[in-house]
């Protein structure tokens, strides 16, 4: 699938924002006044920037409002509703904590639950797609949640917790890629897609179109196997292994936390690009891809 920048920005930033919201809802870090304002401002900025970036992937921006109306069947609609509720709940948490120093424990816990629910609904947009076998697996939501929790813990200043979460993310990424490769290899051939496999090898004689079209532009994208392997190792090291080692094996401090965050963000963007670039949509079989 074509790795659109808007979707990469959306999934990366919103995950970090809602991950930070999760920890803030639990009172981590325990701050109030101006410091609390700074933390909540970062969480709102990341979450809202990510959600706004997702609208740039729409062909007609005016259709964004309709994304909330199909909540019975669409994970995209459920994500939009969960995000709005989360942002509203944390307004109830942030205002008393900033201006009164009051702790809204019940609202905070409820907000944390909805923050994780928002990330989960985002992950299910991709995990529920049977047409992309690499994504259609239980580890896809786990990967999204660990990215959010680990990145959020980093932003919240919880170095050791973040280290263990990023170590878990490293293991999940390895397992997800292995399962994804196995599932992608079993997606079939052009002969299976056309129902002509019993006649022998099926090849494209001519393209079914004479110009670029939406299906090919959006759903068919190829990344070289050697390049994918290198990018996997880079994403694995930067997003998970290296920051985890820094956080778990060195004394906590602002410099180490900043370095770990910078590495994680870089690796997360690379990994998210690869997440989309490696996604082989079944429609590609009809185009000999």
Dist CA 283 CA 289 (whole Å): 9
| pTM passes above 0.85 | yes
What is the structure's pLDDT at 213?
Answer: 66
* Residue 63 DSSP label: G
Dist CA 139 CA 162 (whole Å): 19
Bond into 29 cis (ω within 30): yes
What is the structure's pLDDT at 186?
Answer: 75
What is the structure's pLDDT at 181?
Answer: 92
Domain extents in the chain: 1-128, 159-289
What is the structure's pLDDT at 239?
Answer: 96
**How buried is residue 146: exposed, middle or buried, by Cβ count under 10 Å (0-12/13-18/19+)?**
buried
What is the structure's pLDDT at 37?
Answer: 96
Mean pLDDT in the chain?
89
Q: Which parts of the chain register pLDDT below 50?
A: none
Dist CA 269 CA 49 (whole Å): 15
Dist CA 190 CA 198 (whole Å): 12
């Amino acid at each position: 699938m074509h790795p659109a920048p808007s979707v990469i920005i959306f999934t990366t930033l919103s995950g970090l924002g809602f991950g930070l919201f999760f920890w803030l809802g639990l009172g981590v870090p325990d701050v109030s006044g101006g410091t609390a304002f700074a933390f909540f401002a970062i969480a709102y900025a990341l979450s809202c920037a990510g959600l706004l970036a997702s609208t740039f992937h729409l062909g007609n921006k005016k259709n964004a409002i309709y994304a909330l109306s199909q909540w019975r069947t669409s994970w995209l609609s459920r994500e939009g509703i969960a995000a709005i509720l989360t942002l509203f709940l944390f307004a109830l948490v942030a205002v008393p904590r900033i201006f009164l120093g009051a702790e809204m424990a019940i609202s905070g816990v409820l907000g944390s639950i909805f923050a994780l629910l928002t990330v989960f609904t985002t992950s299910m947009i991709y995990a529920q797609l049977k047409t992309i076998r690499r994504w259609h697996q239980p580890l896809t939501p786990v990967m999204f949640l660990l990215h959010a929790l680990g990145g959020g813990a980093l932003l919240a200043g919880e170095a050791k917790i973040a280290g263990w979460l990023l170590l878990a993310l490293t293991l999940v990424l390895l397992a997800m890629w292995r399962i994804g490769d196995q599932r992608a290899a079993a997606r079939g051939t052009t002969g299976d897609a056309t129902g002509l496999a019993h006649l022998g090898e099926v090849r494209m004689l001519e393209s079914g179109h004479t110009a670029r079209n939406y299906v090919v532009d959006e759903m068919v994208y190829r990344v070289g196997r050697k390049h994918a392997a290198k990018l996997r190792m880079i994403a694995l090291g930067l997003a998970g292994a290296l920051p985890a080692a820094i956080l778990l094996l060195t004394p906590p401090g602002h410099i180490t936390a900043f370095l770990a965050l910078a590495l994680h963000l870089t690796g997360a963007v690379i990994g998210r690009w690869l997440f989309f670039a490696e996604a082989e949509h079944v429609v590609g079989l009809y185009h000999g891809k």
